[in-house]
């Protein structure tokens, strides 16, 4: 087999002793290897020693010496990747002399990196491997980016499935509570818009969660005039799914108040508060004052059913309704572990 490609340049001292190299062009080559996070190596089957370029000390963490036994390198390949690495080596033969593999490598200091190794074997006349020459490139940064993208895609897929399921449930329930097509379209449009509003608010916060206060004020904003609404409570951050569920709950409460309760009259007032009932539980209270009596409509019936389902199944809590002469009183108990987390500022 021809070996002129590798033998055309005699290995310099840096490949054997990890010492500064003075051969012509070696400084330029060293800079190129450093910039590319690449280590070049040669493994000799007869001596079972691997010699690597000087920057192996920086990338692989090997102390500078005259060479590394192949077993020492192999032992530092992650246990989950080692068998595949060995299998790749064993499949090398004269008609298939190349291999390429990405694997995890544990440095002597304990830090794990990802290496992309490409090599070519040289064989004797009987097909036995004599040496292996190639390069190992540190691709840890690109692997971290790849993993981050994978997690983002998985999270997006999870959220999309939840949104589709929620929209389907809302559409089905809205059809059951509507007396005409036009009413169905109007109710569904409003409820989907409530979800869209919650999504827009989540986007503003980079999907890291929403403070209950921000969500309540957002839903009340179209009706909040002349101090007719009061919002008060500690800072509790709701995760995306809980925020979307509570957005629908608040939408139903606001809609009912605007049609039948305190928000339909000039002197009506809505008080929304929440407090910690325990370190792991929060109670949100909705109270209306100055309305014109309790609602008695089938339209409201579905709203209450939807609220109970959202609180029970999606927030993992419980809800209690009371209807007084001036409007609705609603108490929602939510476990903080499932619905959100308390912020101490």
The pLDDT mean for the chain works out to 79
Q: What is the mean pLDDT of residues 249-273?
A: 89
Looking at beta carbons, which pairs linking 44-53 to residues 24 or more positions away fall under 8 Å? Answer: 44/130, 44/131, 45/128, 45/129, 45/130, 45/131, 45/132, 46/130, 51/11, 51/15, 51/16, 52/15, 52/18, 53/14, 53/15
Name the pLDDT band for 302 (thresholds 50, 70, 90). Answer: low
Q: The pTM is what? A: 0.57
Please provide the DSSP assignment of 102-142 as one string. Answer: EEEEE-TTS-EEEEEEEEEEEE-TTS-EEEEEEEEEE-HHH
What is the distance, to the nearest Å, from the Cα of residue 210 to the centroid of all Cα atoms in its chain?
17
Q: What is the DSSP letter of 261?
A: S
What residues does 235 pair with on adjacent strands?
Answer: none
Are 44 and 32 in contact, with CB atoms under 8 Å apart? no
The answer on pLDDT for 309 being more than 80 is yes
Q: Which pLDDT does position 65 carry in this prediction? A: 55
- The CATH number of 4-138 is which of 3.40.50.720, 3.30.450.20, 3.40.50.300, 2.60.120.260? 3.30.450.20
CA neighbor of 74 nearest in space, from 63, 87, 57, 64: 87
- Banded model confidence at residue 100, pLDDT cuts 50, 70, 90: very high
CA distance 214 to 235: 10
Calpha distance 218→115 (Å, rounded): 49
Least confident of 23-27, 64-68, 194-198: 23-27
Residues of the chain with CATH 3.30.565.10: 147-342
Predicted confidence (pLDDT) at residue 177 exceeds the cutoff of 70: no
pLDDT, average across residues 325-340: 78
Beta-carbon contacts of residue 5 (< 8 Å; ≥ 6 apart): none
CB atoms within 10 A of CB 271: 15
Percent of the chain with pLDDT over 70: 80
Whole-angstrom CA distances from 153 to 114, 139, 315 are 22, 21, 24
Give the lowest-confidence range in 79-83, 111-115, 293-297: 293-297
**Angle, vertex CA 275, rays to CA 273 and CA 281, nearest 5:** 130
Mean pLDDT of 268-290: 91
Q: Is the pLDDT of residue 12 over 70?
A: no
Q: Which residue has the tokens 């409003």?
A: 190
Range with the largest mean pLDDT of 149-153, 279-283, 330-334: 330-334
Six token digits for residue 219: 């839903």
Second-level CATH architecture of 147-342: 2-Layer Sandwich (3.30)
Per-residue pLDDT, averaged over 26-55, amounts to: 76
Q: What is the pLDDT of residues 194-251, one digit of tens each?
A: 777 777 777 776 777 888 999 999 889 888 887 899 999 999 988 888 888 888 899 9
List Cβ neighbours of 29 (8 Å cut-off, separation of 6 or more).
none
Q: Cα angle vertex 269, ends 267, 275, to 5°?
A: 165
**pLDDT bracket for residue 4 (50, 70, 90):** very low
pLDDT(30) > 90: no
Q: Which residues contact 27 (CB under 8 A, 6 or more apart)?
A: 21
- In whole angstroms, give the CA distance from residue 49 to residue 10: 18
CATH 3.30.450.20 maps onto the chain at 4-138
| pLDDT value at residue 36 | 62
């Amino acid at each position: 087999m021809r070996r002129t490609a590798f033998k055309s340049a005699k290995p310099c001292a840096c490949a054997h002793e990890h010492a500064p190299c003075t051969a012509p062009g070696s400084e330029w080559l060293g800079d190129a290897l450093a910039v590319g996070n690449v280590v070049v190596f040669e493994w000799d089957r007869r001596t079972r020693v691997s010699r690597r370029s000087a920057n192996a000390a920086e990338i692989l963490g090997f102390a500078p010496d005259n060479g590394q036994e192949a077993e020492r390198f192999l032992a530092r390949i992650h246990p989950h990747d080692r068998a595949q690495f060995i299998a790749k080596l064993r499949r090398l033969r004269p008609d298939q002399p190349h291999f390429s593999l990405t694997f995890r490598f544990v440095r002597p200091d304990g830090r794990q990196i990802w290496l992309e190794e490409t090599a070519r074997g040289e064989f004797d006349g009987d097909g036995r491997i004599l040496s292996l020459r190639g390069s190992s490139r540190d691709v840890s940064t690109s692997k971290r980016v790849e993993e981050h993208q994978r997690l983002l895609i998985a999270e997006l897929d999870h959220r999309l499935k939840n949104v589709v399921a929620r929209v389907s449930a809302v559409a089905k329930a809205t059809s059951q509570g509507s007396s005409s097509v036009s009413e169905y379209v109007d109710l569904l449009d409003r409820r989907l818009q409530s979800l869209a509003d919650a999504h827009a608010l989540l986007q503003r916060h980079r999907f890291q969660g929403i403070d209950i206060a921000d969500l309540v004020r957002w839903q009340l904003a179209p009706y909040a005039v002349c101090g007719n609404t009061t919002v008060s409570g500690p800072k509790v951050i709701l995760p995306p799914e809980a925020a979307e569920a509570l957005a629908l709950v608040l939408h139903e409460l606001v809609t009912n108040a605007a049609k039948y309760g305190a928000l339909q009259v000039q002197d009506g007032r809505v008080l929304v508060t929440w407090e910690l009932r325990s370190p792991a539980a929060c109670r949100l209270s909705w109270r209306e004052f100055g309305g014109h009596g309790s609602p008695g409509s089938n339209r409201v019936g579905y709203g209450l059913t939807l609220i109970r389902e959202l609180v029970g199944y999606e927030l993992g809590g419980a809800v209690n309704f009371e209807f007084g002469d001036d409007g609705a009183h609603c108490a929602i108990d939510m476990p903080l572990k499932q619905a959100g987390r308390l912020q101490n500022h």
